[in-house]
């Protein structure tokens, strides 16, 4: 099963990704976790040792230059990346982790060559036949415009009970429809009660596939630097239920 998690920045994509990964691990599955967020924190939430010392591929400028073979405005459209997972992948228990990050262009001009390397690497990782895959995507909707998640089994858009998050979710639904992606589902996060859930569902006009409660335990685990999924049982149960629904949907 290949799952990509997207949504507006700050809605809890990385946190939910970490819970889904731990839920898969509890089922005895081998997982490939891919952190494709420009500010990657998945390693820390999963409890990987020395997580703050992991350099995202997106920040390895010499490597990106070498693989893209950039020469002025010219670069390789299909750069070689098949050896990179073996060199840079981390492993803890049943989880393998690849920290891609994302290119932050800033004032540096076009980053097309660097993105070609990351895109090729992500595509190769998504073809992994031996593990379940969970991708923590960058915020917003641009990755959908590039079509990089068209090959996943489930695209989960995380929504919180406020208007800005719902507006982004509406854009995600529109772009997914334009790309003919039919495996998009919405997941509510930080739900404090039935009113929050109704607000999201009314704003989108659809039912949520699942929802995650607000949790003081997550904040506490974050501050203490411990793996969140191992210290927040109520939220972990929500992740297991969501995973079970995804598996049932996939078997229908």
Task: For 40-82, write each residue's pLDDT tens digit.
Answer: 999 999 999 999 999 999 999 999 989 998 877 778 778 999 9
Domain extent for 71: 6-251
pLDDT digits (tens, 9 = 90+) for 203-231: 999 999 999 999 888 888 888 888 888 88
Domain count, the chain: 1
Domain for residue 30, yes or no? Answer: yes
pTM > 0.85: yes or no: yes
The tokens of 150 are what? 């068209």
**DSSP-derived 3-state class of residue 42:** helix
Tell me, what CATH number does 95's domain have? 3.40.50.300
Domain for residue 100, yes or no? Answer: yes
Say how far apart CA 193 and CA 6 lie, in whole Å.
23
pLDDT digits (tens, 9 = 90+) for 171-208: 999 988 888 888 899 999 999 999 999 999 999 999 99
Domain for residue 1, yes or no? Answer: no
Residues 6+ apart with CB under 8 A from 97: 32, 33, 34, 35, 42, 43, 46, 48, 89, 90, 91
Domain for residue 191, yes or no? Answer: yes
Domain for residue 27, yes or no? Answer: yes
pLDDT digits (tens, 9 = 90+) for 233-252: 899 999 999 999 999 886 55
């Amino acid at each position: 099963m290949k799952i990509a998690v997207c949504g507006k920045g700050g809605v809890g994509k990385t946190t939910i990704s970490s819970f889904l990964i731990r839920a898969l691990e509890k089922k005895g599955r081998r997982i490939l976790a891919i952190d494709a967020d420009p500010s990657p924190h998945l390693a820390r939430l999963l409890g990987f040792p020395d997580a703050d010392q992991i350099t995202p591929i997106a920040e390895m400028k010499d490597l990106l230059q070498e693989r893209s073979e950039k020469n002025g405005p010219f670069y390789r459209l299909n750069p070689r990346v098949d050896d990179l997972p073996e060199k840079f992948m981390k492993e803890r228990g049943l989880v393998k982790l690849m920290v891609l990050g994302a290119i932050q262009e800033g004032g540096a001009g076009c980053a097309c060559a660097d993105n070609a390397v990351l895109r090729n690497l992500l595509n190769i990782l998504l073809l992994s036949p031996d593990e379940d895959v969970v991708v923590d995507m960058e915020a917003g909707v641009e990755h959908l415009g590039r079509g990089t998640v068209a090959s996943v089994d489930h695209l989960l858009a995380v929504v919180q009970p406020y208007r800005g998050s719902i507006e982004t979710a509406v854009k995600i639904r529109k772009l997914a429809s334009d790309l003919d992606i039919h495996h998009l589902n919405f997941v509510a996060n930080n739900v404090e009660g039935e009113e929050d859930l109704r607000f999201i569902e009314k704003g989108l006009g659809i039912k949520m596939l699942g929802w995650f409660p607000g949790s003081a335990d997550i904040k506490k685990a974050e501050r203490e630097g411990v793996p969140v999924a191992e210290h927040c049982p109520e939220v972990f149960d929500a992740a297991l239920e969501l995973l079970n629904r995804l598996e049932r949907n996939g078997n229908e």
